[in-house]
Amino acid sequence: MRLGLLTACLPGESLADVAGWAGAHGYRALEVAAWPDVPGRDWEASHLDVAAFGEAEAAGVRALMDEHDLEVSAVAYYENNLHADERVREQTHEHLRRCIDAAQLLGVGLVGTFVGRDVTRTVTENLRLAEKVLPPLVDYAAERDVRLVIENCPMEGWHPDGYPANLAYSPELWGWLADLGLWLNYDPSHLVWLGIDPVAALEAHADRVLHVQAKDVEVDPAARDRYGVFGRVIDRREWVSGWWRYRIPGLGQVDWQRVIAALHQAGYDGVVSVEHEDPVWSGDGERVRHGLTLAERALAPHLGA
């Protein structure tokens, strides 16, 4: 296994700057963020301009990775592929296709995304919608030797009441994903706050895991006693549950020794990509990089050669 990082945590820096720092600080792979560069959405990183990506750009990225002894583990575009607005949904699908094209040019076999959810429909209606609109994207990727890996994040902030808005959040759904030709970008942090044993879930579905994201989660049981598992309701703030928050690996409740041992046992030999969403080690590039340093120190001893 190799240690990587998702570049989205450094949206204001160039890919060259991120690669230079990562290669010098124990990282061997980058999961490269490829959101469209949209004004007013500064929290989304655009480290690959997939809309204008050709052979010359791919050669430049490959040379950059070689210079810093890195690989691209996946192209990353985590967006709502079942958006209620059909115009927005098609724009999302079009950008996802460009991410797939870029992955093909780079010789990268994975593109990370979400299933998403139309929040105006029931879960059952969304399952039927996904079965209609996602297979053409799976086929488009397969024709280019690329596979779509789905992160198991609930994306509760997309739902007006904080309910899951990415229909890949629980192991119950992972067999359904497989039937659609979708694979897993396994992140144990989400499972912990949902009350699911991340190791048991991994062991049952390890054959579907093609990429791993490393994020931790800090749970406050006393606050959960006040708000319940669905989180704060009165004066609700988007993306803030009131009883849990994401942390750098090693600073939360994920048992990384057990998780990585289970990956070893399953024969996983891919990338473990740090997804930095820790509010304590955020705010500026220096703090983010310090958080990434803490993550490397926590995870590297478990990964092996």
Q: What domains, with CATH codes, occur in the chain?
A: 2-215+248-303 (3.20.20.150)
What is the model's pTM? Answer: 0.96
**Average of per-residue pLDDT across 88-117:** 98
Q: Which two tokens stand for residue 286?
A: 């220096």
Find out whether 262 and 202 touch, Cβ atoms under 8 Å.
yes
Looking at residue 239, what is its pLDDT?
87
DSSP 8-state class, residue 7 = G
Taking all residues of the chain, what is their mean pLDDT, rounded to a whole number? 96
| pLDDT range class, residue 68, cuts 50, 70, 90 | very high
Q: Lowest-pLDDT range, 34-38, 187-191, 220-224?
A: 34-38
| pLDDT range class, residue 38, cuts 50, 70, 90 | confident
Q: Does the structure show a pLDDT above 90 at 79? A: yes
109-144 confidence digits (pLDDT tens): 999 999 999 999 999 999 999 999 999 999 999 999
Query: What is the distance between the terminal CA atoms of the chain, rounded to a whole angstrom?
Result: 7
Q: Does the structure show a pLDDT above 90 at 238? A: no
Q: Which letter, b or e, does each residue of 66-85 get, where b requires 16 or more Cβ atoms within 10 Å of its Cβ?
A: eebebbbbbbbbbbbbbbee
Q: Which two tokens stand for residue 170?
A: 């629980």
Looking at residue 244, what is its pLDDT?
97
Percent of the chain residues topping a pLDDT of 70: 99
Residues making up the chain, counted from first to last: 305
Looking at residue 267, what is its pLDDT?
96
CA dihedral (279, 298, 34, 208) positive or negative? negative
Looking at residue 105, what is its pLDDT?
98
SS3 46: strand
CA-to-CA distance for 168 and 161, rounded, in angstroms?
18
Looking at residue 290, what is its pLDDT?
98
Looking at residue 44, what is its pLDDT?
84
**Average of per-residue pLDDT across 211-223:** 97
Looking at residue 40, what is its pLDDT?
72
| CB neighbour class for 195 (10 Å; exposed up to 12, middle 13-18, buried from 19) | exposed
Looking at residue 152, what is its pLDDT?
98
**Average of per-residue pLDDT across 99-113:** 98
**Average of per-residue pLDDT across 28-57:** 92
**Average of per-residue pLDDT across 231-254:** 94
Looking at residue 287, what is its pLDDT?
97
CA-to-CA distance for 70 and 84, rounded, in angstroms?
38
CA-to-CA distance for 280 and 286, rounded, in angstroms?
12
CA 21 to chain CA centroid, Å, is 21
CB neighbours (10 Å) of residue 233? 11
Q: Does the structure show a pLDDT above 90 at 282? A: yes
| pLDDT range class, residue 43, cuts 50, 70, 90 | confident
**Average of per-residue pLDDT across 38-51:** 86
CA dihedral (212, 47, 166, 180) positive or negative? negative
**Average of per-residue pLDDT across 266-281:** 97
| pLDDT range class, residue 265, cuts 50, 70, 90 | very high
**Average of per-residue pLDDT across 45-72:** 97
